[in-house]
Structure 1
Amino acid sequence: MPYAAAAANLAAPAHPFCTNPLRTRADVAAAVTSLLEPLAAGTSAGGALVRAGGTGARFDETAAQVEGFARPLWGLAALLAGGGAYAGAARWARGLVAGTDPDGPEFWGAMEDRDQRMVEACPIGFALAVAGDAFWEPLGERERANLAAWLGGMNVRDMPNTNWLWFRVFANLGLARNGAPYSQERLDADLDHLDTFYRGNGWSNDGPPTHTQMDYYSGSFAIQYLQLLYSKLAEKTDPKRSEEYKARARAYALDCVHYFSPEGSAVTFGRSLTYRWAMAGFWAGVAFAEVDLPAPLDSWGVVKGIWLRHLRWWTQHPFVFQPNGMLSIGFAYPNMYMTENYNSPGSPYWCMLAFAPLALPADHPFWTAPEEPYPVAAVPPVKALTMPLHVAVRAAGHTYILNSGQACHYPLRATQAKYGKFAYSSAFPYSVQTGSHTLPEWAPESTMALAEVEADAPPADGGGGGLLGELWKLRRRVEHARIETPPSPDGAAAAAGPVLVSSMRPWKDVIVDTWLIPPTPGSPADAWHLRVHRVRAGRAVRVAEGGFAVRGVQAGDGKALQSIGYEAAAAGGAVEGCVEGPGSALVLGASGAVGVVDVAAPRAAWKAAATRDGAALQADANSNLLEPRSVIPLLTGSVAEGSVGWFVTGVFAVPAAGVPGWRAVWKEKWEARPEVPGWMAAIMEKSG
């Protein structure tokens, strides 16, 4: 059977979400109900607990099932607030009563310090704030007292010094808007402290200054999103702060737009990506708060288009759902490798926060405005995002960021993959490690892996072509990260634009300095970006550097991509395969063309390392967020003990999603090789 036909042979009928056109308000409302309905099967008799699967998390099982109950409220409450209806809403109303009854069999348990229940209090607080007539008004006096006592239990408990403080704000806000007992003192103190996370240009850090972490939690998952909701809900009681939050959103939007492609996909970066379309939560919050954005985003049609196209992108990925219709843990398919230890089966339902615009009435301009395309002509193709230390690029149909300087403030699972890579793409999502021994397990997509070479050890590759061996190290923390604008000979800004510079120390006697150089959009080499590395080695090391990961199977029969000659690859048509050789590797797959190449510098005064070997690495299955089977173009080399090795890597990508007819243009773009800029060659020459 052809692979395309086999791929359509799903384990269950297509989920209604995946067949939803998602173009109108009615479509979005139907999407919400289609996500809510399967949860009925996992709902407890009293309605307070929802089991969405059988895997565990770092917290207790009751808290995990509270997640399954509470997180869908993001969507349900917005639906009801906007005048919509859902026949199963009574399940949640009953569940609030049962879960907060300390004498009942489904009591959630009292709040404890740093308790996962604190997180789930946030969507409950939101539901009370916007749909109190459904979730507060029907309750009796004792039931209201129980609910208020349970939520208020947060006010005397310790919380992490992160975005979590917003969850207590919303618990108190929900109570306040219904005339229930709450703590204004705690609410004000939390807001004052959260405002210390603000760094400028609309961006907040996910914690104090020591936490260099600005990912989707800073925008769509928590801080910006909840600021926007608060700015609407508290615009009369806290007008000064509400207007400040709207002003931050106007600034942040001009950066956030760079994380979304014109096709609707979003750049994969950071943790908690099992929340999926919550990545578009910022745009949902803008609509909910009715914030007028600056040009080129000063149209409801533009905001609506970014939001809807992202939702529609997800309809193309049926395996986000389990056969029973509930969401799976993972990204584009079930995947535990990419998760965090706080992901329970109910965690993915944080995605429901993306449906906040349903709280707007049907005649609101957001809903009546025609959807508009991404403002390609008005959004800069290359931009330095100074707060998160990213350089955003949109060139040759590819939307991605160059990255340095961030790290999770605690040792997160796969943290090197989530924060430490050189580049993150919307078309080619990142890969995570599945183990700790071989390079296929590490899946070094868009990063450099280093391994120590022991002088008296037997060959480390074990017949694996230099790809095996223990103790590979990937970039996790960096030093001296900064964005520079190199001067051109006449003193003006270089045409290549901003450059990211940073250093890392995989060992105390090995320093890797890296320059990440974006392309010049519209130039012949616009499908490339450059990475220049200086490896100062106090010990002998092997290095392996990967480009973007691409689908690793043939479209026709689903078999693994095979090695082919360049002549065969360049012949055109639907040719797929891997071209490997000295100094380069190129992979053509159904999702596009990716590659890496050693780039020669125009000067010879600096000492270049020997030409690296090119290979197509068959990454471990399920290491990539999007493709269960993936291939990574790779360059491998080495640096001798006591020496300095320079590596200049050209990284190539032409995504199928962003370049219609990409098979007809990839060859021309592959052969338009980038050159080392003169200012970079001068640095290399001076350094020796």
Structure 2
Amino acid sequence: MASQPSQGLVLGYTTLHPFSQIPLSDRASVQALLRALLDPLEPFFSPLKARVRCPGATAVRFDQTASEVEGFARPLWGVACLLAGGGSYRGTQWWIDGYRAGTDPESTEYWGYPSDNDQRMVEMCPLGFALAVAPQIWEGLSERERGNVEAWLGNSINEKNMPNTNWLWFRVFANLGLKKNGGKFSQERLDADIKHLETFYRGDGWSNDGPEGIHQMDYYSSSFAIQFLQLLYSKLAGEEDPERAAEFRKRAQMAALDLAHYYDEEGRAIPFGRSVGYRFAMVSFWGALAYADVELPAPLTWGMVKGIVMRHLRWWQTQHDMWSSSGTLTIGYSYPNMYMAENYNSPGSPYWACLAFICLAVPETHPFWTSEEENHWDVLPKVKALKHPGHIMSNLGGHCMLLSSGQACSYPMKGTHAKYGAFAYSSAYAYSVPPGLLTLEQYALASQLGLSDDGGEYWKTRRLSESSLQTRGGTPVLVSLWSPFPDVHVKTYLIPPHESTPNWHLRAHHIRAEGRAVMTADGGFAISNQRAADGRLLGLYDAAAGEGTRPKLIGNYDTVTPEGWADGREGAFAVSKGAVGVRALEGKELGNGRTAMLVNADPNSNLVESRTTIPTLQGTVAKGESVWYVTAVYAKPSAEGVKRDEYLSGWEAVPGVPGWLREEMGQ
């Protein structure tokens, strides 16, 4: 199925993006999907084709030229994979011309040599990979033009400092692309970078995104960079570096059994960490397994791997609000959202999503393509503790969820506490970021415990913590120690769901307010705050309609109306696209009697739903007091075959407090 670019892209009130209109079943349909993603970029190429200025005038921490180089280079991931697999794209010449002009110092569209820690270095990775796998690019250049590419792609980056992170892989691929074409490159630099990247390895297939002292294992450790690029390296350099290639494949085998837990039956990945605006790049690891000829570890099959990729792409086809009016990807997740963006997300940044199309470089005879899709959850354990990332994974209650402790970005990223420090992350209920810094409505504390010492204006949450993965009563438990204020200390236990109560997980907090009094707010998952019939905000729960909240959602920063509050043990819930809720399980003698309510979160705080509400338990801890909170968090997502009157079917089946925890609490 081919797109029809000559007719132009027509988007309007009732018109779906061509990306969403392609039935996905085989390799040819995924090729068509990529073309539908690339076609809208055509009008945004510069005259000499070296730059792409995607719609949106947002600034980033690097210069505008680098931003437009990003717009040029990132779609090249998809183009290169398509060409490597024998496919074709009508705009291939655009990128060949862009190489020519962008690396020519005499051109008006010259990219400019990178300085230390320059964003141009990131974009050298797809530029180098494309050279390595699509020979028509190098062959389309003259001898002089190849010299310009050598000087820009090799010499310039080899002489500069780079961040001590996954970025080092980008220089590896800049050199590798030149090497594969007989160009000038630095084998010494290539070897030194890989040797240093080896220091990031932590074991069992997992690499950290940085050196000792940093605990950050998100999608960069797998699909966005490290595992993905290790696999590409093993394919492209395996004959010359067989030992390392074999080691990278072995690591991928081990990691695959863990990473499979991040993707649910609906095709959704669990949003976690930074750069989730790269969207379907979240599944690039799985296509890379096939590309690198990895032998899958039991019990995974190629039908399962194919299923993960295809279901994920289909889910993104249902996210109709992620496009600009011109048909290009926007900064955001399910809809345009600058609140969740990093300071390096330019308008062209989302096209790192094209990593997902590595599967197109896989031959059509490979079992990845010839196998029937299968469900990996037919063979995986429903609960699994992952030592290295500090996660407990769960697929109970209708969604994939991870409980997390200990991870943190190494620098003060916007919303970093929400991206790494929340207690739970769900494939059905995405995390929320703060659009402002006053009151709970703006902080949007989904799956977070907030503490305030000023009456509820400013809130502190978990960001940095000391954590450990333990086993209590035969169940994996995450324990973290953190201090939102220098004289307030919290010990948090995270306990995964049990098959007997699959819709609940528990979190217990021991709070010692040694030097000040604090208010507390313990939030559950954020859920859509819209009625199905008319899109207006949820009203009081109506069992007949199967939607609403209890207690009443007051909103508008109203904190005194009695109808908006309930006893903590009675709890609070919201029902729309499934149901979420929270209940307090501690006795009043331990927790000072918390109350339950619904936070009407500010719009655009959540990644997937632009209007949300968050069931929340609130309490107070006096100066010098030590209290225990035990919060039961409920979640039952909507799904095919689940009726509205079943959303609250597990609400009354509240789990008990485990005996070991009662003993810890002194009960």
Question: TM tier, shorter chain?
Answer: over 0.9
Name the residue aligned to 1:526.
502
Name the residue aligned to 1:466.
none
CA distance in 2, matches of 1:358, 1:668: 43
Given that residues 543 and 636 in structure 1 are in contact (C-alpha distance below 8 angstroms), is that contact kept between their aligned partners in structure 2? yes
CA distance in 2, matches of 1:323, 1:290: 40
Given that residues 547 and 576 in structure 2 are in contact (C-alpha distance below 8 angstroms), is that contact kept between their aligned partners in structure 1? no
Name the residue aligned to 1:272.
275
CA distance in 2, matches of 1:290, 1:589: 46
Deviation at 1:359, TM superposition (A): 0.9
Deviation at 1:370, TM superposition (A): 1.4
Gap change, CA 1:624 and 1:10, over 3 Å in 2: farther
Given that residues 573 and 582 in structure 2 are in contact (C-alpha distance below 8 angstroms), is that contact kept between their aligned partners in structure 1? no
The aligned runs of 1:653-668 (5 Å cut-off) are 653-657=635-639, 660-668=641-649
Q: Percent identity, please.
A: 53
Which amino acid is the alignment partner of residue 191 of structure 1?
I
Name the residue aligned to 1:547.
524
2:627 equivalent to 1:624: no
CA distance in 1, matches of 2:291, 2:577: 35
Name the residue aligned to 2:581.
595
Name the residue aligned to 2:535.
558
CA distance in 2, matches of 1:626, 1:608: 36
Given that residues 171 and 190 in structure 2 are in contact (C-alpha distance below 8 angstroms), is that contact kept between their aligned partners in structure 1? yes
2:47 equivalent to 1:50: no
CA distance in 2, matches of 1:98, 1:232: 30
CA distance in 2, matches of 1:354, 1:361: 15
The aligned runs of 1:2-13 (5 Å cut-off) are 10-11=12-13, 13=15
2:566 equivalent to 1:581: yes
CA distance in 2, matches of 1:246, 1:70: 27
Deviation at 1:157, TM superposition (A): 0.4
Given that residues 622 and 628 in structure 1 are in contact (C-alpha distance below 8 angstroms), is that contact kept between their aligned partners in structure 2? yes
**Aligned partner (choices 237, 240, 246) of residue 243 of structure 1:** 246
2:632 equivalent to 1:650: yes
Which amino acid is the alignment partner of residue 228 of structure 1?
L
2:505 equivalent to 1:504: no
Structure 1 counterpart SS, 2:261: helix
Deviation at 1:660, TM superposition (A): 2.8
Given that residues 165 and 194 in structure 1 are in contact (C-alpha distance below 8 angstroms), is that contact kept between their aligned partners in structure 2? yes
CA distance in 2, matches of 1:666, 1:345: 39
Given that residues 600 and 675 in structure 1 are in contact (C-alpha distance below 8 angstroms), is that contact kept between their aligned partners in structure 2? no
Given that residues 125 and 173 in structure 1 are in contact (C-alpha distance below 8 angstroms), is that contact kept between their aligned partners in structure 2? yes
**Aligned partner (choices 438, 460, 472) of residue 486 of structure 1:** 472
**Aligned partner (choices 63, 72, 91) of residue 69 of structure 1:** 72
Deviation at 1:169, TM superposition (A): 0.2
CA distance in 1, matches of 2:643, 2:504: 15
CA distance in 2, matches of 1:663, 1:10: 31
**Aligned partner (choices 217, 222, 233) of residue 214 of structure 1:** 217
Gap change, CA 1:223 and 1:61, over 3 Å in 2: same
**Aligned partner (choices 207, 213, 216) of residue 204 of structure 1:** 207
Deviation at 1:609, TM superposition (A): 1.4
Structure 2 counterpart SS, 1:376: helix
**Aligned partner (choices 498, 511, 515) of residue 535 of structure 1:** 511
Structure 2 counterpart SS, 1:97: helix
Name the residue aligned to 1:255.
258
Which amino acid is the alignment partner of residue 197 of structure 1?
F
CA distance in 2, matches of 1:318, 1:191: 40
Given that residues 572 and 663 in structure 1 are in contact (C-alpha distance below 8 angstroms), is that contact kept between their aligned partners in structure 2? no
Deviation at 1:21, TM superposition (A): 1.7
Deviations 1:354-380 (A, max 9, x none): 0001112222221111111x2223211
Deviations 1:26-65 (A, max 9, x none): 1110111111111111000000000112211110000000
The aligned runs of 1:89-488 (5 Å cut-off) are 89-132=92-135, 134-152=136-154, 153-297=156-300, 299-372=301-374, 374-453=375-454, 460=455, 469-479=456-466, 481-487=467-473
Deviation at 1:578, TM superposition (A): 3.7
Deviation at 1:637, TM superposition (A): 0.5
**Aligned partner (choices 660, 672, 687) of residue 653 of structure 2:** 672
Structure 2 counterpart SS, 1:180: coil
Name the residue aligned to 2:555.
none
CA distance in 1, matches of 2:198, 2:14: 47
CA distance in 1, matches of 2:384, 2:299: 15
Name the residue aligned to 2:20.
18
Deviation at 1:575, TM superposition (A): 3.3
Given that residues 11 and 323 in structure 1 are in contact (C-alpha distance below 8 angstroms), is that contact kept between their aligned partners in structure 2? no
Name the residue aligned to 1:3.
none
Which amino acid is the alignment partner of residue 486 of structure 2?
K
CA distance in 1, matches of 2:574, 2:452: 28
Given that residues 637 and 647 in structure 2 are in contact (C-alpha distance below 8 angstroms), is that contact kept between their aligned partners in structure 1? no
Which amino acid is the alignment partner of residue 79 of structure 1?
L
Deviations 1:465-518 (A, max 9, x none): xxxx33210111112x0011014xxxxxx2xx2000011101111001000011
Deviation at 1:92, TM superposition (A): 0.5
Deviation at 1:666, TM superposition (A): 3.1
Name the residue aligned to 1:683.
664
CA distance in 2, matches of 1:212, 1:365: 36
2:597 equivalent to 1:615: yes
Deviations 1:111-136 (A, max 9, x none): 2110000000000011001102x210
CA distance in 2, matches of 1:517, 1:232: 40
Which amino acid is the alignment partner of residue 360 of structure 2?
L
Deviation at 1:18, TM superposition (A): 1.1
Name the residue aligned to 2:81.
78
CA distance in 2, matches of 1:72, 1:36: 7
Which amino acid is the alignment partner of residue 476 of structure 1?
R
Which amino acid is the alignment partner of residue 436 of structure 1?
L
Structure 1 counterpart SS, 2:436: coil
Structure 2 counterpart SS, 1:319: coil
CA distance in 1, matches of 2:362, 2:423: 40
CA distance in 2, matches of 1:662, 1:513: 38
CA distance in 2, matches of 1:528, 1:405: 22
CA distance in 2, matches of 1:91, 1:668: 56
Gap change, CA 1:168 and 1:109, over 3 Å in 2: same
Q: Give the root-mean-square deviation of aligned CA atoms.
A: 1.4
Given that residues 540 and 548 in structure 2 are in contact (C-alpha distance below 8 angstroms), is that contact kept between their aligned partners in structure 1? no
Which amino acid is the alignment partner of residue 527 of structure 1?
N
Given that residues 391 and 401 in structure 1 are in contact (C-alpha distance below 8 angstroms), is that contact kept between their aligned partners in structure 2? yes
Deviation at 1:295, TM superposition (A): 1.5
Gap change, CA 1:10 and 1:655, over 3 Å in 2: farther
Which amino acid is the alignment partner of residue 400 of structure 1?
M
Deviation at 1:341, TM superposition (A): 0.3
Deviation at 1:682, TM superposition (A): 0.4
Structure 2 counterpart SS, 1:318: coil
Structure 2 counterpart SS, 1:409: coil
Question: Is the deviation greater in 17-26 or in 419-428?
Answer: 17-26
Given that residues 585 and 616 in structure 1 are in contact (C-alpha distance below 8 angstroms), is that contact kept between their aligned partners in structure 2? no
Which amino acid is the alignment partner of residue 412 of structure 1?
M
**Contiguous gaps of at least 5 residues in structure 2:** 1-10, 552-564
CA distance in 1, matches of 2:40, 2:649: 49
Given that residues 534 and 644 in structure 1 are in contact (C-alpha distance below 8 angstroms), is that contact kept between their aligned partners in structure 2? yes
Structure 1 counterpart SS, 2:328: coil
Which amino acid is the alignment partner of residue 216 of structure 1?
Y
